[in-house]
Structure formats: structure tokens, C-alpha cells
Structure 1
């Protein structure tokens, strides 16, 4: 039986900083390489970042390096930024909500409601250790990303 692509991967963290401050960090997508264990570089095409902004990301896992092309598909200042990866059909987002005590709950999601592209699926199976293993790695990477954003936001 083939491993199933999870339609949603989600991780959250509470940050002791107001949403406006956290937003100032996460809405600058060029900073993602500072936090993500997989992103080496993000090249943003056009400023300010807004709905429709495109980016090229360089990703790395061990010796494997690959580019992805993305486009901002949801942009609600102080609340959410989401971008669709053209190469595999997934949507990655960061959503901010108040924790009710002056802090922020930051949630990172990887949405794949229709699965992933056939090329991505094949590469995941043949090169990245299979869907189950790679999704666990993505979830761990999300937790690491959120923890690093928390450190920067609480400085």
C-alpha cells in the first residue's frame, strides 16, 4: 500500500510578543532561511510582500539541493501569509492569533488538499525516504522553524 499524503500538517507555538511584532518578522519571507532547517535562500521578487508576490526558494536536505517557485496566495496583514508552491501544489502558511495575554500563537501549516504533483510524489518516494518519513521530517522542521522564530521575536 502506498503512503498517503496528509492533507494538513500543522504545528503551533506561543510567543511572548504581540502579533504586530511577530508579523514584522514572519511577513519578511526572505528571512525564512534563518529559521527553516530546509530553506537555504529565498529570493523575493518585488517589495513590499503582498498578495501575488512571487519567490524562488533554494532548499537543501543533506547533499540534495532543489529550487521551488512560490506565490503568495493569502495575505492578511497581522494575521496570515500563505504561499503556494508551484512545483508540488502545496500551500504553506503562517497564521497569527492573539493568546489573550499580550502574546501570539503562531501556527505553521502545510496544506495538500489534493495531494502533491506526480513529480513531487515520485521524488518523495525515491529520494526523500517515502511519504511517512518525509512528512515526519517536515513536521519536525516546522517545530524547529517556530522555535527559532520564537527566539527572535522574544529578544
Structure 2
């Protein structure tokens, strides 16, 4: 099987783009929807590029944390952040927000694995497997399933 370096999934939500953005651009809320993230500690209040946060994650009994820096924060349009481990780039995660008509919004979650492009990529891949139990070549599949769960949770929360 060839390793996947990017994954994205989308869902249409019966909510305005601004409301969808407010939900996904608050990293503290990710624990409400994600099957992997259980809590986020944000260093600051305003969600702007440069804001940093730490995500605490788990799969089964395995737990780890990630250091994140917001790279894009455009209200009603996009939110993204870069993940590092021991100062080594790991991934970019983000959301694109597009009007879908009739007052609804298409929300696309995307992920890009950065471990192919950086020094120390092999070390970070090994650490990823040790901490998460997921080998680097299986991460895309785990993320795709997690995205589906996350997007379904966001949709349910915003359509209540």
C-alpha cells in the first residue's frame, strides 16, 4: 500500500459559514467532536495566526500531546494550524468553509503529513508509532475515519 500524505473529508451543515467558523476556530471545542483529541490548552484568547495551543490526544490507553500554531484564521472562510513535535514539523490540519446554498455550509477538514519534508522526520514517525500505536503508513486511514466522526459531531452540534 502506498502511503497517503493528504486526506480531506467534507460535510454539508445547515448553518451559516460564520457560525461554522466560530465552532471550528475555537480549538478548545475540538474535544467535543474528535475521537482522538480530549482536551486543548490554548495560550491566548484571540484566534489569530500565531496563536499557540497544545492538544492532548488518546487512542485507547495511549495518550500524547501535540504543539500547534494557528497558520490561518479567516472568519467564515478558513482555519488551519501546524503541528510540531520536538520542534519538528508533523502535519497541517485545517478547515475550509464554503457557502453551499440555502443557508447551509460545506465544511471540509483537511490534513497534510509534513514528515516527508523535514529533518528528523523518521524520528518523529517513530515517536508517532510509539505514542499512538499507529504506524506512519496507517495514519491517513486513521485520520480519515477521525475526520468523518469529527465532522458528524460538528454537524450535529450546529444543527441542534
TM-score normalised according to structure 2 size? 0.87
2:126 maps to which of 122, 140, 143? 122
Distance in 1 between residues matched to 2:52 and 2:40, nearest whole Å:
10
Tell me the residue number matched to 2:97: 96
Distance in 2 between residues matched to 1:114 and 1:131, nearest whole Å:
9
C-alpha deviation, 1:89, in angstroms: 2.4
Tell me the residue number matched to 1:150: 155
Secondary structure at the aligned position of 1:111 is classed as strand
Distance in 1 between residues matched to 2:128 and 2:99, nearest whole Å:
36
Mapping for residues 131-146 of structure 1, pairs under 5 Å: 131-146=136-151
Distance in 2 between residues matched to 1:65 and 1:129, nearest whole Å:
12
Task: Tell me if the contact between 1:124 and 1:134 (Cα under 8 Å) persists in the aligned partners.
Answer: no
Mapping for residues 2-151 of structure 1, pairs under 5 Å: 4-87=2-85, 88-112=89-113, 115=116, 117-125=121-129, 128-151=133-156
C-alpha deviation, 1:128, in angstroms: 2.2
C-alpha deviation, 1:114, in angstroms: 5.5
| Root mean square deviation of aligned Cα | 1.8
Give ranges in structure 1 of 5+ residues lacking alignment.
none
Q: Deviations over 1:68-95 (max 9, x none)?
A: 1000011111111100001142100011
Q: Which has the higher strand share?
A: 2
